[in-house]
Structure 1
Amino acid sequence: MKKMLGLVLLFVSLQACGQEPKQTPKQTIATTATKTMENLPKTEAEWKAKLTEDEYYILRQKGTERPYTGKFLMHTEKGMYTCRGCGAPLFSSDSKFDSHCGWPSFDKEVKAGVIKETVDNTLGMRRTEITCAKCGGHLGHVFDDGPTDTGLRYCVNSVSIGFEAVKK
């Protein structure tokens, strides 16, 4: 019964984050991050050895953590959110906001080109998937219903990101 309830809650939460984008994904700009992958695992066996089971499921198999369970959902410390797969800086804590969707949300990437966007038509929805431009790790989805001047809401799995606090 608990498993069925969990599946229902996951489906409802995915629907909440499942609005259709009004625009097509922007073209990814080739950056140094996309060109320098020498130190990254290249085979699935190497990724499995580097990542935890949950990290592998989300980053490499495009999974999703259960809503309202991620360690960074209510996180308010100042610093930089990074990719768990490769350590690339992705989002500043200054761009984080509470969107009430069950996952950490940001209104902009830390620098143009660190996030790659692609159309995702899975689960009967049309969404825009976001991945790390450096290692290709799945992060979540971006929607154009954000409350700030960017109009964006990067909805990110906590498992797919790390955090580096501002040094005092």
Structure 2
Amino acid sequence: MASVYSCRECGTNLNLNATHLFPSDFYFDAGNKGTLSFACVDATKFRFEKEDKIRPFFETLDYWGIQRKRTKIKCNSCGRLVGYIYDDGPPLTDSPGQLHFGPSQVIPRAPRYRFKTKTLQIASQT
């Protein structure tokens, strides 16, 4: 039984595949209630806008930053904000990185597409 993920505002099928969904206990989703993270999405269903915020954020217990760069994900049909793209997914390489600095500073990371569950309409398909 597969799930169909649609925009709550306009009802457009967002073509999100449950096989690309990260488990809820994965290291970056463990404490985030009300969100779903995917490894990849169909780019034709969304508009992407860069965002650059200057405010403190925590990546791990030992690493924090001031400037967070992320990308807004908006529904291509209605323009509603449905989530964000973060570059803190699983490492693309097995290397600990140059000089063993913090995780996002030297280790190339895969993009993570995080959607707010309140902006999605989730239906089961048989």
Cα distance, 1:89–1:148 mapped onto 2, change above 3 Å: farther
Residue 3 of structure 2 is aligned with which of 79, 88, 110? 79
Q: CA deviation at 1:122?
A: 4.1
Q: In the TM superposition, what are the counterparts of 1:12-91 in structure 2 within 5 Å?
A: 78-90=2-14, 91=16
What's the counterpart of residue 39 of structure 2? 107
2:70 and 2:87 in contact (8 A); partners too: no
Q: Which amino acid aligns with 1:164?
A: A
Q: Which amino acid aligns with 1:130?
A: I
Give the helix-richer structure, 1 or 2.
Answer: 1
Length, aligned pairs only? 90
What's the counterpart of residue 96 of structure 1? 21
Cα distance, 1:162–1:119 mapped onto 2, change above 3 Å: same
Q: CA deviation at 1:147?
A: 2.9
What TM-score comes out, normalization by structure 2 length? 0.60
In 1, the alpha carbon distance for the partners of 2:44 and 2:31 equals 25
| 1:152 and 2:111 matched | yes
In 1, the alpha carbon distance for the partners of 2:80 and 2:88 equals 24
In 1, the alpha carbon distance for the partners of 2:9 and 2:114 equals 17
Secondary structure, counterpart of 1:89 in structure 2: coil
What's the counterpart of residue 52 of structure 2? 121
Give the strand-richer structure, 1 or 2.
Answer: 2
In 2, the alpha carbon distance for the partners of 1:84 and 1:136 equals 12
| CA displacement 1:22-57 (0-9 Å, x = unmatched) | xxxxxxxxxxxxxxxxxxxxxxxxxxxxxxxxxxxx
Secondary structure, counterpart of 1:94 in structure 2: helix
Percentage of identical aligned residues: 26
Residue 134 of structure 1 is aligned with which of 77, 81, 100? 77
In 1, the alpha carbon distance for the partners of 2:39 and 2:121 equals 17
> Which ranges of structure 1 fall in alignment gaps of 5 or more residues?
1-76
Q: What RMSD in Å do the two structures reach over aligned CA positions?
A: 2.4
Cα distance, 1:120–1:101 mapped onto 2, change above 3 Å: farther
